[in-house]
A and B are shown apart, each in its own frame.
Chain A
Amino acid sequence: MQSLGKLHPTVVKATLAEDVDIKTTLTYFMQVKAEVDESGRLLAFPKMGKGSGDHANLLVSNAFMELPAGQGPYTKGALYPLILFRNLP
């Protein structure tokens, strides 16, 4: 709904909490569970689903992490944009 000027997705940057060994030429929107650790860092834990028909896995995630095209594998500790679709726990 960005085109309506109604709602920009909540985009922040978060720290990838685990290595992600994928290589893709496309921008990859990875399902993650984002949470704030004791030191106030926003961490994103990958929650890989079982493919495009998997709705159920959305229940255990609260955000997408936008991994830039052609830069994989993606290393733990790196910062990437995070799009929240649910509140943080």
Chain B
Amino acid sequence: MISVHEATKIIEGTVQKWRKVNVPLEKALGSVLRQSIVADTDFPPFDRVMMDGIAIRHRDLDAGIRSFKILGVQAAGTPQQSLECAGACLEVMTGAVLPMGADTVVPYEQLKLSEDGKTASLEIAQIDKGRNIHRRGLDKKQGEVLILPGTVMGAPEMAVAASVGASTIWVSHHPTVAIVSTGNELVDIHQTPPPHQIRRSNVYALSAELARIGLKADLYHFNDDKVSLQQNLGEVLEAHDIAIFSGAVSMGKFDFLPEVLVQLGVEKQFHKIAQNPGSLFGLEQWAPQKQYSLFRAIRSLPFYVFTNTCCRG
């Protein structure tokens, strides 16, 4: 029996063994990144206007000018314009490039525009130089690593990857999973069990937890029959990257699974964890044809299964 901490370390040690695949970004949500995402340009890539208003030269304020002639509009997504004249301004929109020569943005909320729309006058006494400008490279510099390998791709990561033009990315392959229940006491959920049997429920809990992280599982059931397990289990193992077993791993007379797995060439990593509930939790690896396969065996009692699914992963 090993501690919870030791078991967790062994489980986490299997992370790097999954092969990587290159997928379009839009298919990567929920996947584990296997490359670095690097800034292809400064973030932001230019001095960016942060408020709708006017862009001015702060030295005009220092010279006592409070009313500015509007020379034009710098909209977001348009090439950079230039502001050279004293006492003049350009209307600027949020997200636009700061006009060349300007160094301060005064928001509309602090301005009064003339009726003909040709002049903007400050309604505040002063404004600091550089206000309302998001300076180029302030967030990240070109070449900086923005997302590290091993990160699960969520909405923010998708946005950042898109912003650096990562149209395809390397992620861990989504493994194929088999969930195998065992036991003569189990009947299908469509059946009404006699008094000595119950319906299969663990596989549905396991399957639901896997679905939450985007993994689909194939469900199997075997009765407590060693010969049947010996004949059929190998095929299930070969067809999947991961197999999760619910049942037949304890000391009972019909708990054939550990013996059959050994016969199939599965190597035990651990079998018991010093925890309650769910101490009978095993991790096995199998590598006859694939690089690595991973198997977990969990005692079949429903609460044990759920505890191990949530707490041990």
Q: Are B275 and A53 in contact (CB-based, < 8 A)?
A: no
Cα distance, A81 to B85, chains bound together (Å): 63
Known: A26-B279, A85-B310. A5 touches B152 (CB 8 A): yes
In the assembled complex, which residues on chain B have CB atoms less than 8 Å from the CB atom of A66? Answer: 4, 311
Q: Are B294 and A3 in contact (CB-based, < 8 A)?
A: yes
Q: Mark A1-37, 1 if CB is under 8 A from B, else 0.
A: 1111111110000000000000011111100000000
Q: Which residue from chain B places its CB closest to the CB of A7 in the assembled complex?
A: B213
Task: Give residues in B with beta carbon < 8 Å to A.
Answer: 3-4, 8, 11-15, 18, 30, 32, 150, 152, 172, 175, 201, 205, 209-210, 212-215, 273-279, 294, 301-304, 306-307, 310-313
Task: Give residues in A with beta carbon < 8 Å to B.
Answer: 1-9, 24-29, 49, 51-55, 57-58, 64, 66, 69, 83, 85
Q: Which residue from chain A places its CB closest to the CB of B7 in the assembled complex?
A: A27
Cα distance, A58 to B13, chains bound together (Å): 30
Q: Are A29 and B306 in contact (CB-based, < 8 A)?
A: no
What is the minimal beta-carbon distance from A28 to any residue of chain B, in angstroms? 5
What is the minimal beta-carbon distance from B3 to any residue of chain A, in angstroms? 7
What is the minimal beta-carbon distance from B206 to any residue of chain A, in angstroms? 11
Cα distance, A17 to B40, chains bound together (Å): 50
What is the minimal beta-carbon distance from A55 to any residue of chain B, in angstroms? 4
The SS class assigned to the B binding surface is mixed
Cα distance, A49 to B172, chains bound together (Å): 38
Known: A64-B311, A83-B311. A4 touches B175 (CB 8 A): yes
The SS class assigned to the A binding surface is loop
In the assembled complex, which residues on chain A have CB atoms less than 8 Å from the CB atom of B303? Answer: 49, 51-55, 57-58
Q: Which residue from chain B places its CB closest to the CB of A11 in the assembled complex?
A: B311
Cα distance, A51 to B214, chains bound together (Å): 31
Pairs of residues from A and B, 10 with the lowest C-beta to C-beta distance, nearest first: A2-B313, A52-B301, A3-B14, A5-B32, A55-B302, A26-B276, A27-B275, A5-B15, A85-B310, A27-B4
Q: Are B172 and A4 in contact (CB-based, < 8 A)?
A: yes
Cα distance, A22 to B126, chains bound together (Å): 67
Cα distance, A28 to B306, chains bound together (Å): 14
In the assembled complex, which residues on chain B have CB atoms less than 8 Å from the CB atom of A8? Answer: 313
In the assembled complex, which residues on chain B have CB atoms less than 8 Å from the CB atom of A54? Answer: 302-303
Q: Are A29 and B275 in contact (CB-based, < 8 A)?
A: yes
